[in-house]
């Protein structure tokens, strides 16, 4: 029971951080012309960071599953937002802003997938660079 309580506490702390980052980000990227730029930035940056977190930082720093859960589910889960994405999509649809709707859907879905691939590539490149550096140091 104690372990579950610790997990909830870590998630609570991560969610607190992520939701406050999301709020700060929404103040920086205010919607213009009805385009939900803040939600787009949050979701795309989360799509880039999550694979890097899972595939590089976890291995590089030997992070515990509790830390990964805190960062991925807690911080990134509360920072990114599918519910706001769907609400924004519906609002664009409902107001007949077809071009903005198409752009938003395309950037979010295709852009998110592309950034997830880029995040994996970033993780692999960083891991390779670390390995190469370690090899050079061992030869010296």
- Residue 123 confidence (pLDDT): 94
Q: Which two tokens stand for residue 3?
A: 């372990």
Tens digits of residue pLDDT in 70-89: 999 999 999 998 999 999 99
User: Annotated binding site: which residue ranges?
Assistant: 77, 80
- Residue 98 confidence (pLDDT): 97
| Number of C-beta neighbours around residue 86 at 10 A | 11
- Residue 30 confidence (pLDDT): 84
| Residue, of 103 and 81, whose pLDDT is higher | 103
- Residue 4 confidence (pLDDT): 84
Rounded Cα gap, residues 127 and 123, in angstroms:
6
Q: Quote the pTM value.
A: 0.88
User: Annotated binding site for Na(+): which residue ranges?
Assistant: 77, 80
- Residue 80 confidence (pLDDT): 95
Averaged confidence pLDDT in the chain: 93
- Residue 72 confidence (pLDDT): 94
Rounded to 5 degrees, φ, ψ at 36 are -80, 70
Does 136 have pLDDT greater than 90? no
Tens digits of residue pLDDT in 30-82: 877 889 999 999 999 999 999 999 989 888 888 888 889 999 999 999 999 89
Long-range CB contact pairs, 91-96, < 8 A, 24+: 91/34, 91/36, 92/34, 92/36, 95/34
Q: Which domain holds residue 108?
A: 2-139
Tokens 């390779």 sit on residue: 128
Rounded Cα gap, residues 22 and 10, in angstroms:
18
DSSP 16-77: HHHHHHHHHHHHHS--BTTB-HHHHHHHHHHHHHHHHIIIIIHHHTT--HHHHHIIIIIIIH
| Number of C-beta neighbours around residue 122 at 10 A | 17
Indicate the number of domains in the chain: 1
């Amino acid at each position: 029971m104690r372990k579950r309580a610790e997990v909830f506490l870590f998630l609570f702390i991560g969610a607190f951080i992520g939701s406050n980052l999301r709020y700060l980000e929404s103040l920086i990227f205010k919607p213009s012309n009805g385009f939900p730029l803040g939600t787009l930035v949050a979701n795309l940056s989360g799509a880039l960071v999550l694979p890097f977190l899972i595939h590089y930082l976890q291995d590089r720093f030997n992070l515990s599953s509790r830390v990964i859960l805190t960062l991925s589910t807690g911080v990134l889960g509360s920072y990114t937002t599918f519910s706001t994405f769907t609400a924004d999509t519906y609002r664009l649809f409902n107001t007949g802003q077809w071009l903005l709707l198409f752009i938003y859907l395309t950037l979010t879905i295709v852009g998110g997938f592309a950034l997830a691939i880029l995040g994996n590539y970033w993780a692999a490149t960083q891991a390779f660079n670390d390995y190469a550096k370690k090899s050079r140091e061992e030869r010296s």
